[in-house]
Structure 1
Amino acid sequence: MVIPASSTEFLHVPATVTGFDPVTAPVRIAVVAHGDNPATAEWQTAEWGDSEAHILIGPDGGALVFTRGSYRIWINVDPPGAENLVRLAGTLTIT
Structure 2
Amino acid sequence: MEIAATSTEYVRVTAKATAGGSPVSPSAPPMFAFQPTSATGNPAVEDWLTGEWVTPHARILIGPNGGAVTLEAGEYRVWLAWTAGAEAPVYRTPGTITVY
Q: TM-score, normalised by structure 1?
A: 0.89
Q: Name the aligned partner's letter for residue 32 of structure 1.
A: Q
Q: Name the aligned partner's letter for residue 7 of structure 2.
A: S
Please report how far the alpha carbon of residue 3 of structure 1 lies from its aligned counterpart in structure 2 after TM superposition: 0.7
Q: Which runs of 5+ in 1 are unaligned?
A: none
Alpha-carbon distance between aligned partners in 1 of 2:50 and 2:72, rounded to the nearest angstrom: 21
1:79 is matched with: 84
2:93 is matched with: 89
Number of residue pairs aligned between Structure 1 and Structure 2: 93
Alpha-carbon distance between aligned partners in 1 of 2:17 and 2:29, rounded to the nearest angstrom: 12
Q: Which runs of 5+ in 2 are unaligned?
A: none
Alpha-carbon distance between aligned partners in 1 of 2:55 and 2:29, rounded to the nearest angstrom: 15
Answer yes or no: is the 8 Å Cα contact 1:25–1:80 preserved in 2: no
The runs of at least 4 consecutive aligned structure 1 residues that moved more than 4 Å come to none
Instruction: State the secondary structure of the residue aligned to 2:18.
Output: coil
What percent of counterpart residues are identical?
40
- Measured against aligned partners, the alpha-carbon deviations of 1:24-52 in whole angstroms (never above 9, x if no partner) come to 34310111112321000000111001211
1:36 is matched with: 41
- RMSD across aligned C-alpha pairs, in angstroms? 1.2
Alpha-carbon distance between aligned partners in 1 of 2:92 and 2:7, rounded to the nearest angstrom: 23
Q: TM-score, normalised by structure 2?
A: 0.85
Q: Check if 1:26 corresponds to 2:5.
A: no
